[in-house]
Structure 1
Amino acid sequence: MKLDGNGQAKILDPDEIGALFSEGLKTDRDRALGGICLFTGCRIGEACQLKTKNISGGRVIFPKAITKGRRGTREIPISPRLQLLLDCYQCDREYLFPGRWGRGHLHPNSADRILRDAFERIGLIGASSHSFRRTALTEMHRKGIPLGTIQRISGHESLAALQRYLEVSEGELRSAVQVLNW
């Protein structure tokens, strides 16, 4: 995993996300894979193990059996942008992202390589498959989504575990102390 200066996967900015989906990810499958990771905040291994039946009723359902720690099933509503990516990518196999020759599911190492190649194509340094997860969770936090809601989406067992994912910028620190203006 490539790391930023803080020892974590890089948070992607809107321009980088735009370039990634327009120039870096070359196929509908690859864009759908990146979209699942970005718009649900899931781990790459969870995305790879999704079955087509897990996209249902306007939700992406991550069964307990494929989640880290197998703590519980997560159901994430599908955003309009993710829906567009899924509409472009049609898969009639058991797994949403089939493995080589249609057997099993795409291996997380193969998915990681697809994403690393896309990052390289657009000259993005310090990003990894985990950047999608950190970006999604950090952006929700920056937009004021309650931590409990973000925790439910991410599947983190504790708020302490979740908070390690959330990046705090210098501007956010300045804004925070400026509210103390009696």
Structure 2
Amino acid sequence: MKAEGGHGQAKILTADEINRLFVDGFSCDRDRALFGVCLYTGCRINEACTLATSDAIDSKGVKDNLIIRKKNTKGQQETREIATATELRGYLERHQPGKQHLFSGRHGRGHINPRSAAAILEEAFKTVGIEGGSTHSFRRTALTQMANAGVPLHVIQKISGHKSLQALQRYLAVSEQQVKDAIAALKFL
């Protein structure tokens, strides 16, 4: 699987590609829930794979906030709580988690390995004819969509767990149309 969408960065998925993946690409509720976590929280695949069941679900059902523990983050930055989007709540409600791990590994031992998750995604991409995507595409897609919707960068940084705004900004795609619109906004007379 090609791991990037250009210029060394993961491909940003379109709404159509996301729909095709979640409708026809993923073969089970676990896979929809796993990659739904990546898409609707902007987390890394390792962060999603290592979630404890208690980080997302309690005795009342799916929690309002999903918890990504410091020990599972890149660089062990800090624990983050991210609101559970309505769509993600649905994926998690249909998923049958393990007792300890939200996404159990083979034969219920430990959590799913991020390489196994990448192989699942590669197969889903092939099934629906998407090229150039990777597990990191979900993170980059989520963060770019938030920025395009006008979410302040410091809020996106809190969600993504990036150490700095500079590191975050490398994730965000800028389209040619956005550049044209920015120039067109210049009105001095």
- Normalised to the residue count of structure 1, the TM-score between the two structures is 0.98
What's the secondary structure of 1:76's corresponding residue?
A: strand
Matching of residue 121 in structure 1 with residue 122 in structure 2: no
Q: 1:7: Cα distance to partner?
A: 1.7
Runs of 4+ in 1 over 6 A off after TM superposition: none
Aligned to 1:85, the other structure's residue is in SS state helix
Could you list the runs of 5+ residues in structure 1 that have no partner in the other structure?
Answer: none
Question: Structure 2 stretches of 5 or more lacking a match?
Answer: 58-62
**Distance in 1 separating the partners of 2:161 and 2:25:** 28
Letter of the aligned partner of 2:41 in structure 1? T
Return the offset for 1:144: 0.2
Distance in 2, matches of 1:43 and 1:54, equals 15
The answer to which of 111-120 and 144-153 deviates more is 111-120
Aligned match of 2:60: none
SS in 1 for 2:81: strand
Deviation at 1:142, TM superposition (A): 0.1
Farther off after superposition, 87-96 or 73-82: 87-96
* Structure-1 separation of matches of 2:49 and 2:98: 15
Q: Is 2:179 the partner of 1:178? A: no
Check the 8 A contact 2:98/2:108 in 1, yes or no.
Answer: no
- In structure 2, the partner of 1:28 is 29
**Given that residues 39 and 136 in structure 1 are in contact (C-alpha distance below 8 angstroms), is that contact kept between their aligned partners in structure 2?**
yes
Residue 168 (structure 1) aligned with residue 169 (structure 2): no
1:4-153 equivalences in 2 (<5 Å)? 4-56=5-57, 57-153=63-159
Structure 1 residue 2 displacement after superposition: 1.4
Q: Deviations over 1:70-97 (max 9, x none)?
A: 1100000000000011111121420000
Cα pair 1:93 1:102 within 8 Å, conserved: no
Q: Letter of the aligned partner of 1:173 in structure 2?
A: V
Measured in 1, the distance between the counterparts of 2:64 and 2:119 equals: 29
Task: Give distance in 2, aligned partners of 1:111 and 1:5.
Answer: 22
Partner SS, residue 11 of structure 2? coil
Percent identity over the alignment is: 52
- Match of 1:150, SS state, is helix
> Secondary structure, in 3 states, of the residue corresponding to 1:60?
strand
The aligned amino acid for 1:22 is V
Q: Specify the code of the residue in structure 2 equivalent to 1:31.
A: R
Partner letter of residue 56 of structure 2? Answer: I
